[in-house]
Structure 1
């Protein structure tokens, strides 16, 4: 039985803006942890203004425990620097570090950043919650491919440094053949900086791919019903198309069937 899917997809050459892949790029869909990028961007701008903030110690117990993605919940360290919290969010989408950072800077300033950077309506709606009640925002974040491609055409370099070790290469990036735990430097001419989002019925990846100096900003967002494996297969197929596009092998009619 085939699953129902809604996609928002866009990839462009970062320099020229040439469209490489496109399908409903303005469609707003749930994006799970992708919206944490707005938090990271806000932190990067705060550090631009005052680099000493990066060494501020933030305590794990300043917020309620939260499960699922992340490492800090499994570590002994009772406190980490603000910068290390941001690194955990970039590398493993750490939920506890996300909530500690949001508790420190506040959600409203992060949402103001989202409103400035994402004219299509992409937004971080809330902190991470183990359980969402009817009184809570229904999703952690929403987003469209057009917003995220616009962001990754001129990303903040500090945000890129936090995303460089991102360990989740299960989606679009699964096509790139990189070591999930060691790809901060180019490998066979490839380098990727990406953020993923995973929730029930949601898979999303946004980022920047460099192939021998030619770069593409991309976003592939899917809301689906049914099995996840076919969705991941299509996301990998889009990754292959993206590689072909940067290697001058792209044919506009060769996109995977939806």
Structure 2
């Protein structure tokens, strides 16, 4: 197990990133801890918390997932995918907005849901699970606004300047949406055990996590037709994250949370994307190699 931790640290170093990881066997509780209690910037990973709140409120009868809402072009949250990239008015159900939010990380769809749910409900949802280190501080549109303000007149072009990056509130866990790797694996494990909300809601959350389209991070470590990867990415300048669950055909299921900060401010860093899959695979292989007597050993 110590060898696995060394390989994880070496992989982050080779990719030019600092990384924090937690992996847990959902059924046995065996875990791997690589600074799993570090407070980290969640970025779009926090959309998972919003999705949880959506299904908790639907279960409580507070909202109807089939309710259709209007999303006009003006004032939408920006982004390269989904409603955020569309030019015309959109009418969509809450549950289909949730699909776009999770499958392609659509910021505008997330804002549609937040308008109905509110940040207090998102925090109440994670509080119910005892995730005391997880907090939604602002909406995704508000986070984007801080990026624009902090970047200054140079705009997006300034977001590769190390001096600008150092002052971005969106990269300060104390000033933005945040969690820990351990909190995120606890959330995922509770969804897979039907504990985060009712069985129907948990099944819906699992389905949407399984529909994420991005294969370049966690899924890259598990290139097998019979291994299922369900996850949610998060991205900001120098930040690349993903949390997810890996399911093997023998019934093994493993919740993984990987958060990274890159030393290089470039917008495109394939090695850092890939190291999320590499380290997740190392962690899962180590968990699967454990004998029953080794369960609950923790890498520190």
TM-score interval, normalised by the smaller of the two chains: 0.7 to 0.9
Counterparts in 2 of 1:52 and 1:107: CA distance versus 1, 3 Å: closer
Is 1:223 aligned to 2:223, yes or no? no
- Greater CA deviation, 38-47 or 59-68? 59-68
In the alignment, the residues of structure 1 paired with residue 33 and residue 28 of structure 2 have an alpha-carbon distance, to the nearest angstrom, of: 16
Taking a change above 3 Å as real, the CA distance of residues 208 and 107 of structure 1, as seen in their structure-2 partners, is same
Equivalent residue, structure 1, for 2:40: 29
Deviation at 1:118, TM superposition (A): 5.1
TM-score after normalising by structure 1 = 0.82
How far 1:243 sits from its partner (Å)? 4.7
In the alignment, structure 1 residue 171 sits paired with structure 2 residue 217 = yes
Give the Å deviation of 1:93.
Answer: 1.1
Matches within 5 A, 1:88-167: 88-117=100-129, 119-129=131-141, 130-132=144-146, 133=149, 138=170, 141-155=177-191, 156-167=202-213
Contact 1:214–1:246 (8 Å) recurs in 2: no
If each structure's strand is expressed as a fraction of its own residues, which one has the higher value?
1
Gap change, CA 1:162 and 1:51, over 3 Å in 2: farther
Residue 235 of structure 2 is aligned with which of 198, 201, 207? 198
- CA deviation map 1:148-193 (0-9, x unaligned): 1111112132211221110122212211226xxxxxxxx32x1121
Q: Is the 8 A contact 1:193 1:208 kept in 2?
A: yes
Q: Is the 8 A contact 1:120 1:146 kept in 2?
A: no
Number of residue pairs aligned between Structure 1 and Structure 2: 240
Q: How does 1:39-50 map to 2 (within 5 A)?
A: 39-50=50-61
Q: Which residue of 2 aligns with 1:256?
A: none
Secondary structure class of the residue paired with 1:123: coil
Residue 208, structure 1, aligned to residue 256, structure 2 = no
- In 1, the alpha carbon distance for the partners of 2:110 and 2:287 equals 33
- Residue 61 of structure 1, aligned match among 68, 72, 90: 72
After TM superposition, give the deviation of residue 86 of structure 1 in Å: 0.8
The worse-fitting range, judged by mean Cα deviation, of 152-161 and 235-244 is 235-244
- 159-168 or 32-41, which moves further after superposition? 159-168
Q: Distance in 2 between matches of 1:122 and 1:205?
A: 15
Alignment check: 8 A CA contact 1:191 1:210 kept: yes
Structure 1 unaligned regions, length at least 5: 179-186, 253-258
Cα pair 1:63 1:99 within 8 Å, conserved = no
Distance 2:73 2:235 in 1: 25
Instruction: Tell me what 1:13 maps to.
Output: 25
**Alpha-carbon deviation of 1:9?**
0.6
1:50 positional shift: 3.0
- How far apart, CA to CA, are the structure 2 residues paired with 1:2 and 1:166? 27
Whose radius of gyration is greater, 1 or 2? 2
Q: CA deviation at 1:137?
A: 6.2
Classify the secondary structure of the residue corresponding to 1:153. Answer: helix
Gaps of 5+ in 2: 1-12, 151-167, 192-201, 295-300
1:36 Cα deviation (Å)?
Answer: 1.1
Q: Tell whether the 8 Å contact from 2:228 to 2:246 is kept in structure 1 after alignment.
A: yes
Aligned counterparts of 2:30 and 2:36: Cα–Cα separation in 1: 14
Distance 1:120 1:9, change over 3 A: farther
